[in-house]
Structure 1
Amino acid sequence: MLEDVDTAVSVRFHVALDSMELGTFSTCEGLGCEVVIESREEGGNNSFIWQLPTRLKYPNITLTRPLGRDTEKIAKWFADMASGYTRCTGIIEAMTGNGRKIAGWELYDVVPVRWKGPSLNPDQPKVIMETLEIAHHGFVSKLR
């Protein structure tokens, strides 16, 4: 029997921290990791160079959505950093248009990096968007 395959054509990303729901975002970019490779040449061996894995590197994640009520939560998160900040665990869940979870990721040691508000230009009427960039120290996939 073939299982229904959900291609996630209409996806939104629900984001939560230890103590705060940040809401849903329409795009999520940068979720991934890279193995940093160190090259070593061995004396007397000219046929190849050793490629040695050293550590994992995680890019920042950028989330985008139309401006809304949840923007206040992001503003509070950034404002709280002025009095000190404790790293937290974050969750990103990919959801279908009808709210069914497709996949999820638990992020370790999340830190806000940048918030970018909308560009307000009356000559170009369009949906006003906000962007949130976060850094983290790794993740675990949380499938279904």
Structure 2
Amino acid sequence: MEIYYPPVGFSFMVEFQGLSTENTDISFQSVSGLTVDLETEEIAEGGENRFKHKIPVRSKFPNLVLKRGMLLNSEVIKWCKKALENFEIEPVDITVKLLGEDGKPLQTWNIVRAYPIKWSVGDFNAEESKLVIETIELTYQYFNIV
């Protein structure tokens, strides 16, 4: 009998379709927001006072949040700046790949029509010795698992 070990969450890559494929532009410290919720609508039935019916309405996807050490001359950041500073919104598809020990994808998430809605840089503090972290927040239509 073979023992199953769940995959580790520290080996992954993020690819922006149509943007840079440089190794530095696909490396991130963290990815969050790969979540889907089913919205429901409550309907009261006449004569039934014990409960309300919950009817499924649509899926809801939160924003995707990417964090990494600040990268200079990044194509992804140029894309973000065009959207945030010039309102030139160009949605792109993104793939997030969870990698196995051999560096091959174990699972892939396709994020559809994402564009940036927030970009921030971590605090500067002369009393601490830590990396400058940039955070990119993206909205998107939906994702699917390949």
TM-score of the superposed pair, with normalisation by structure 2 = 0.82
User: Residue in 2 aligned with 1:119?
Assistant: 123
Of all paired residues, the percent bearing the same amino acid is 22
For 2:79 and 2:3, the matched residues in 1 are separated by 41
Q: 1:26 to 1:100 in 2, by over 3 A?
A: farther
Residue number in structure 2 paired with 1:7: 7
Which residue number in structure 1 is paired with residue 144 of structure 2?
140
SS of structure 2 residue aligned to 1:59: coil
Q: How does 1:11-30 map to 2 (within 5 A)?
A: 11-20=10-19, 21=21, 22-30=25-33
- What does the per-residue CA deviation read over 1:72-109, in whole Å, with 9 as the maximum and x for residues that have no partner? 22321123332622322111112357633232100111
Q: Structure 1: give runs of 5+ residues left out of the alignment.
A: none
1:129 aligned partner: 133
The whole-number CA distance in structure 2 between the counterparts of 1:98 and 1:114 is 34
Measure the CA separation in 2 of the matches of 1:115 and 1:103.
Answer: 27
C-alpha contact (below 8 Å) 1:105/1:139 kept by paired residues:
yes
SS of the residue corresponding to residue 31 of structure 1 reads coil
Counterpart Cα distance in 2 of 1:96 and 1:120: 35
| SS of residue matched to 1:24 | coil
Q: Which runs of 5+ in 2 are unaligned?
A: none
The alpha-carbon distance between structure 1 residues 98 and 73, as it changes in their structure 2 partners (threshold 3 A), is farther
RMSD: 2.2
Matches for 1:65-144 after TM superposition, within 5 Å? 65-69=68-72, 72-81=74-83, 82=86, 84-96=88-100, 99-142=103-146
Question: 1:7-59: per-residue Cα shift (whole Å, max 9, x none)?
Answer: 315x1431122201331112111111111111111011223210001111100
SS in 1 for 2:77: helix
Do the aligned residues in 1 keep the contact of 2:95 with 2:111 (CA within 8 Å)? yes
Cα shift at 1:3: 6.5
